[in-house]
Structure 1
Amino acid sequence: MSLTSVITRRTAPGRPLPDTAEPKKATFRHSLHAEWIKIRTMRSTLWVILGTLVIGVGLASLNGASAGDEYATMQAADQAVFDPLATSLKGYMLAQVTLALLGGLVVTAEYGSRTIVSTLTAVPHRGRVLAAKAVVLAVMAYGAGLATMVVGFAVGQSALESAGAPYATLSDPQALRAVFGGALYLTLAALLGFAVGTLIRSTTATVTTMFATMLIVPAFGPALPGPLADWTATYWPPSAGGQIVTAYRDPALLGPWPGLAVMAGCVAVLLVAAFLTFRRRDA
């Protein structure tokens, strides 16, 4: 058979050459896989997750030891409201910031390096890109948050038990709620940072916003005028969501699950705004 006849047969109608076949369109599964690789290989990801674990476990150990030593000298009224759960899980206050920063970096790092252009060229469906990022981030944040809560709980309760103070075990329903609910809260914190990072597109501005939102406002809220201070303590999303890791029920504040619902609602609103903005704004 001549070379000409071979070429004729391979280019006949209905028999396209393999290299001229249309490429398959990127599916959501492909986007998930790509985002998993990107997030997993970011240099900051490993350090943020390790930092979250160290902070959670370190503060649990320190708080458990110091609170346990102080328990015997407390007034009866203070002993009545002593909260072993909140004592051992206090590390969530800094862990929420580290995971929120990770959430912001998932987006802002691509804008900073301009690789977002390549991402959107490969997958023009912007909603799919952002959804894939959010799903991968949520899974990773929940895993890191759960590990932080479980190990922090174990270390903190062990320190309280050694000091002769009240302590809890995982067989306690409140403890299970605090540990698994705390992991959910940390996941919401990561998604909050993700939404803010998508809206702002600047790593520095996202870091500043997350510190102010999660640490500065709750810390200085009590110094605000009366009604505003009460509102901040009760309904400010990080303050309300943080009730999920407590055992003592303050009647002036929201319950654990209603408080977490406030945090989830805030994150949902910001995620919707982030999706709408991401779809319409130039890369």
Structure 2
Amino acid sequence: MIARTVRSEWVKLRSLRSTWYTLACLFGTGVGITSLATGQVAGQYGDLSEAERLAWDPTARGLIVYIVAQLVFGVLGTLVVTSEFATGLVQSSLAVTPHRTRLLAAKVVVAAVVAVVAGQVLMFVSFLVGQALIAGQGVPSARLGDPGVLSAVMGGGLYLAAIALLAIGLGTLMRATAGALTTLVGIVFLVPGMAGLFPAWFQGLLDFWPSQGGAAIFATVPDPAHPHPWLNLGGMCLGIAAVLVAAFVVFERRDV
């Protein structure tokens, strides 16, 4: 039964023009930002001190596209649920699949698969384009076989997929695209930007926060502030799982 619901949700997602526009924007913007971030690094690298050159991380530079990409994934995840609330189609979906948990689970599965595939492809493309541009300027670049590189690239894809799932949770809780995206922007940009203003007890949470500790997965040079990037990413995913659980509970109990 769940397989049929998943198949139905996939048909709905792929039939939305906004889905393809969002993915096209994702890859077009991704390649553009990667080119901008890595196209002029020769002068920057030449000005670095010896200690700064030892900390040079071409992998992180090539994957910097995640800063914007996480918003695009947020749009994709939000639209999976809020598009139906906006059009009233959710009533038809519930008439066909009255089991609300199954319906939302199918949406999560479809969005997760699309986000994982798109995220991994974006990370590999950005890495390869970025390293080609860096190497072409005579600056030390990275290869997939170098220590920690493949882990950073694949971890980056998982990070973006997790952001898409966070957006699904927020979209389900708020039932509005604008509200969900505004909240997501606050989570990934506003909170990390104001980190120094929060009390000491909150600082520990930032080790697992999107765009903060969770984003340590993109680096290959050890960061003393986040020495265990997979632990940081895992903590972020647990927090997102909690948001999804809340979304399931609310969707099950609230009138549509």
Matched, 1:90 2:64: yes
Matched, 1:204 2:186: no
CA distance in 2, matches of 1:29, 1:106: 17
User: Which of the numbers 214, 221, 227 marks the counterpart of 1:248?
Assistant: 221
Aligned residue identity for 1:101? V
For the pair shown, which has the larger CA radius of gyration, 1 or 2?
1
Deviation at 1:71, TM superposition (A): 0.3
Deviation at 1:230, TM superposition (A): 4.8
CA distance in 2, matches of 1:28, 1:233: 36
Which structure 2 residues correspond to residues 98-137 of structure 1 after superposition, within 5 A? 98-137=72-111
**Which region of structure 1 is more displaced relative to structure 2, 106-115 or 55-64?**
55-64
Divergent runs of 4+, >6 A = none
Query: Are 2:162 and 2:237, in contact at CA under 8 Å, matched by a contact in 1?
Result: yes
CA distance in 2, matches of 1:102, 1:188: 12
Deviation at 1:107, TM superposition (A): 0.6
What does residue 49 of structure 2 align with?
Answer: 75
**Percent of paired sites with the same residue:** 39
Count of residues in correspondence between the two structures = 256
Query: Are 2:77 and 2:111, in contact at CA under 8 Å, matched by a contact in 1?
Result: yes
TM-score between the two structures when normalised by the length of structure 2: 0.94
What does residue 15 of structure 2 align with?
Answer: 41
Against the structure 1 CA distance between its residues 160 and 271, is the aligned structure 2 distance closer, same or farther, given a 3 Å change threshold?
same
Unaligned runs of 5+ in 2: none
Q: Deviations over 1:70-112 (max 9, x none)?
A: 1012112221211111100000111111111211111111001
Query: Are 1:101 and 1:206, in contact at CA under 8 Å, matched by a contact in 2?
Result: no
TM-score between the two structures when normalised by the length of structure 1: 0.86
Which structure 2 residues correspond to residues 1-283 of structure 1 after superposition, within 5 A? 27-222=1-196, 224=197, 227=200, 230-231=203-204, 233-283=206-256
Unaligned runs of 5+ in 1: 1-26
SS at match of 2:85: helix
Aligned residue identity for 2:98? P
Against the structure 1 CA distance between its residues 181 and 31, is the aligned structure 2 distance closer, same or farther, given a 3 Å change threshold?
same
RMSD: 1.7
Query: Are 1:237 and 1:259, in contact at CA under 8 Å, matched by a contact in 2?
Result: no
CA distance in 1, matches of 2:177, 2:198: 32
CA distance in 1, matches of 2:49, 2:155: 31
Aligned residue identity for 2:224? P
